[in-house]
Amino acid sequence: MARRSYYDIDDILAGQERVPCVLRVDLDGLGSAGSGGTSKVHRNARWALPYWMADRLNEEDYVDMEVSPVFSKRANRMYTASPESMQLRAICQYFYLFGLQLGDMVPDIPQLLRNMFMQRIIKVARIAQQGQNVEALDFAQSLDKTEARMLKLCQQAQSSISEWHKNNAYALKRAAVTASTAG
């Protein structure tokens, strides 16, 4: 079980993704922000709960958790067929992290994630080196958070190389913190 650190913010944010559930009991406090959480949801109702809630309630049999539509069978087939054209940011911003959390329940998901990541990351590295063009921008828009971070790292590495070419690699730099907040 690849459970990240307790303090990991990304893990917390990924766990907030909703999954559809069927309630087996009446539950209170599941209303949306507007109603102030005093609405009661009755048994046998379908409701989308955040994953951190649904997972534990499912263990106690208070709800029946179903697989999120992000990883439905049809979606999984699409992912294996053409991973590079998927708009992950539209589908789920924390696609990989959320998938890892769901992977405890659905054993096919980790393998699927791995294949997808392996194929997409090659493209990410390629567009980091290419610089700006239309295709790169479109693809960069479709990345989820994990991939976006990888892209940024690749781009930083690229700029470090060009700095080194200019013989600027060892210049002492002003710390970023002080630069942005100087009065």
Partner 1 sequence: MLGDEAFRLAKEAKDITADHIPAYNEEQVRLVTQEARYLWMRIEEMIAGLNTATTAAAAIPSQQRDAQSQVPGSRQLGYSQASQVDQQHQSQQSTQRSALQTEIENTNAQTALYFLTLNRNKRCLLAYHHRRAQFLRLLLWTLHLASSMVPSSLSQRLSPEEQNYARDYARLNSSYRDAVEGQLCPSDSLNWTADGELPPRDLFIEVRVVKDCGEIVTENGVVNLQAGTQHYLHRSDVEHLVTIGYLEHINPS
Burial of residue 140 (number of CB atoms within 10 Å: 0-12, 13-18, 19+): middle
Measured from the CB atom, the residue of 120 and 145 that comes closer to partner 1 is 145
Taking the complex as a whole, the smallest distance from the CB of residue 106 to partner 1 amounts, in Å, to 21
Query: Tokens in use for 15?
Result: 């766990």
Question: For residue 153, what are the CA distances in angstroms to 69, 146, 156, 165, 175?
Answer: 31, 11, 5, 19, 18
> What is the Cα–Cα distance from 30 to 21, expressed in whole angstroms?
12
Measured from the CB atom, the residue of 16 and 85 that comes closer to partner 1 is 16
Binding site for partner 1 (CB under 8 A): 6-10, 12-13, 16, 24-33, 37, 50, 52-53, 56-57, 60, 62, 166-168, 170-183
Taking the complex as a whole, the smallest distance from the CB of residue 98 to partner 1 amounts, in Å, to 14
Taking the complex as a whole, the smallest distance from the CB of residue 45 to partner 1 amounts, in Å, to 13
Taking the complex as a whole, the smallest distance from the CB of residue 59 to partner 1 amounts, in Å, to 10
Measured from the CB atom, the residue of 24 and 123 that comes closer to partner 1 is 24
Length of the chain: 183
